[in-house]
Amino acid sequence: MLTVEFPGSGKLINAIDNAVSQPTTPAITDTLRKALCQLIRSQEVVLPACVFEAAKDHYARRELYRSEEHGYSVVAMTWGPGQGTKIHDHSGMWCVEGVWNGALEIVQYELIEHDATRYHFRPVGSIEAGPGSAGSLIPPHEYHTIRNPSSDAVTVSLHIYSGRMTQCAVFDEQGDDWYLRNERQLGLDQVH
């Protein structure tokens, strides 16, 4: 279901449909990551103008497409200067994330241990990704933060999830790399 028409949307959907036909999750995400990088760099896909409009008080999530046949969803995220996330997961879904414009700082975390209420994480790597770059997350290696490091520029990224991501776990820092887990319902901003 295409939320809004945009130039190259058919090419993007065909590339995703091709990737999800691969036999394994690593093959799906690898094929999709390569295709997304190529599509961003070639500028054959032109995202709707609204995805370049930042929200003042949160990073914006705009669903552009959801496949009824394959179940995946395509969400454009708009990051205002300095906007970002807490440590979070993807509710057990794989995801491929590509930077459309601007830059994102992504920090991956490893879960060391947890008890009934507290989780112990340690950062295991960070990258600053620029336009045309893409990465993937496959559970259980899905814990990360994302942040727009710019003090004045908007960043847009495209996220393809194996399903509809309507909630996730977020982790509130308690000190000494320990965090409390909370469930967060994820909303969508309007596409126009």
Q: Is pTM, for the whole model, over 0.85?
A: yes
Rounded Cα distance, 187 and 93, in Å: 17
Host domain of residue 73: 9-185
CB 41: neighbour CB atoms within 10 A? 12
pLDDT at 1: 76
Is 190 among the domain residues? no
Per-residue pLDDT, 4:
81
Indicate which CATH number applies to the domain containing 93: 2.60.120.10
Amino acid at site 81: P
How confident is the model at residue 3, as a pLDDT?
A: 75
Task: Please check whether residue 4 lies inside any domain of the structure.
Answer: no
- On whether residue 191 sits in a domain, the answer given is no
**Is residue 91 assigned to a domain?**
yes
pLDDT, one tens digit per residue, over 129-187 is 999 999 999 999 999 999 999 999 999 999 999 999 999 999 999 999 999 999 999 99
Number of domains in the chain: 1
Is residue 192 in a domain?
no
